[in-house]
Chains A and B, each alone.
Chain A
Amino acid sequence: MKNTRTASVPVSQRRARCAGAAGFTLIELLVAVTVFLIIGGAAMSLFRNHVSQFTTQQNQVGLNTSLRNALTQMEVDIANAGTGYFTTVDKANFPIGVTIGSGGSKVACNNGQTYPAACFDTLNILSVDPNTPPGQADAGTQAGCTTTTTGTGSVIIPPAGSLNAATGLPWTAAQYAALFTTGNQVLFSSNLNYNTSVLTANGAVGAGGDIALQFQPTAAATLANNSTTDPLGISSAPDPNLQTSFCAGTSWVVKLAPQITYGVDTITNPANPALYRKIGAAGVQTPIADQIIGFRLVTTLNNCAIAMTDWPAAPGQPKCNGGNTNFNQIRTVQISLIGRTTPLPNSADTFHNAFDQGPYRIEAVSVTASPRNLSMND
């Protein structure tokens, strides 16, 4: 009877029962709050861990994507290296399309997490200027041949049968001369030999409609050129094909397009070495991948057993196919790219990599790209 709910239960009794059975005591409340705090705290710390892990994963995915994108862009550029050499020009023994600038001897070069320029190579991708048809050497006033060591004037004429796209008519001497300007990199080519130089004056129309070119004098035959005549290092190693005499009827002058250069910018932000791509020597460095800590290039050579890791090839390095190893022997370019996620503030909790225990992740990619346009003697 006492436990039966009826309207007849006195108010004081009901209040007493409610207070005793339905409320929480202070102890119960404290225990509940403590349990809640412990569980809530654990959940929060789990969440906090998860957030940092999520960020790390995001960063790693971002790193992977940026490395892949950079590689894809390089592969496309390398595949197109050497475009235009063999369309109209008699083939010389120089499938040049790729040159490599070595950052230095490839020893350990990092200063902790900072990477100086010596840690990175540069890659130049060359092709013929598509708007400038190769000029044919002309006897003209040069008595039949141009000697490149003098630097004064290779005489050329526009190639027969080539039309100026702007007018639809054959090139006039003045139109053609205007294509050659100071600073252009040109290749001299005969059937078997080549040389390279930089123009020192704009092309000018001379006697008989010939176009005279002024350029930096090259080194003597078979000797390597220096950075004045050959800033891209096309002929930076001695080569039996490097000749100095280019005669009418068998020789051509080819103007190169501004080269595409890949390198790593260590100056702008030393904490973030960025892989850049630029067009032409004075071009703007467009960053294509951040936090690059390794960019090295190795090449395999045409039918040569030894892969080249240092360019230009040192004189002591082995010869391939009886010739010196040079850029005209490149078959494939092996690209090693190493990136890292942005280093975090160092603490015991952060991830530490296996390379230098730094608070960032490291990822490496290694691919080989083939310059498709470089003919391998076929």
Chain B
Amino acid sequence: MEKSLLLRKPSRERGFTLIETLVSLAVLSIGLMSIAALMSQMVGTSAQSRAMSTAALLASEKLEDLCHYSGKVIPANLGAGGSLTADVAGFFDDVQISSSNGISARTTSELGVAETIVHRADGTVTVAAGTAAPADPDAQIYDRRWLIQANTPVNNMRTITVLVTLTNQPANSAAVSFQVSTVRP
């Protein structure tokens, strides 16, 4: 008698049906998935904002460098030329900054000589010919191009435009690029 009561007891009490359980699990998983997606998006956005601030820094420093020369004496590479859509020798460089091991590298072909300078966390600084930066899976590689237009927008004025693009954008992040321009005599 006691045994049969015990056995019968679960069937008498109302538990959740399979359908109810499945529905609740589905709702729960949708919620969790959206939270996970949000988290990953947040990570991507924070990486993106970091990359954008670096891109802005690199663009403004190059613009300042290019503005350094007035119209009187302009070295060949700082005269009219360059492009924002393609790498033109003498009018672009690359800056590579590692996010994990401290390596920063800059390659330039300014003034006709391709050169790469690498600084590592062990204190070494190396200068090598060519534009081959060290392979680094964690590096953010910024491509920097500048365009100098003579007699634009009016005669005897130069318009200088610098475009910085992150060539390997972080996961879950939109493309990072920053463009800035100025007019100089």
Residues on A close to B: CB < 8 A? Answer: 64, 103, 106-110, 115, 118-120, 293-294, 296, 298, 300, 303-307, 309, 331-332, 334, 336, 338, 340, 353-356, 361-370, 372, 376-378
Contact = CB atoms under 8 A, between A and B. Distances in A.
Closest 3 CB pairs of A and B: A378-B70, A106-B125, A305-B113
A96 B123 CA distance: 27
Interface string B101-125: 1111010101111010101111111
Given A303-B111, A334-B117, A366 B68 contact: no
A7 B157 CA distance: 104
B91 to A, nearest CB: 14
Given A356-B121, A368-B61, 7 more contacts: A110-B122, A296-B125, A336-B104, A362-B102, A364-B119, A366-B104, A376-B73
Contact of B69 (A109, A356, A365, A378): A378
10 contacts: A293-B102, A296-B123, A303-B111, A332-B68, A354-B100, A355-B102, A356-B121, A356-B122, A376-B70, A378-B71
B103 to A, nearest CB: 7
B127 A362 contact: no
Contacts of B112: 305
Contacts of B99: 363
Contacts of A118: 123
Contacts of B50: 64
B157 to A, nearest CB: 15
A16 B113 CA distance: 97
B119 A294 contact: yes
Contacts of B64: 370, 372
Given A307-B115, A331-B68, A377-B72, A365 B104 contact: yes
Interface string B47-69: 00010000001100110110011
B184 to A, nearest CB: 11
B76 to A, nearest CB: 9
B65 A108 contact: no
A334 to B, nearest CB: 7
B141 to A, nearest CB: 12
Contacts of B122: 108-110, 355-356
Nearest to B103: A364
A343 B65 CA distance: 37
B121 A332 contact: no
A108 B106 CA distance: 19
A376 B123 contact: no
A305 B110 CA distance: 7
A304 B102 contact: no
Contacts of B73: 376-378
Contacts of B127: 307, 309
A221 to B, nearest CB: 27
A293 B177 CA distance: 30
B68 A376 contact: yes
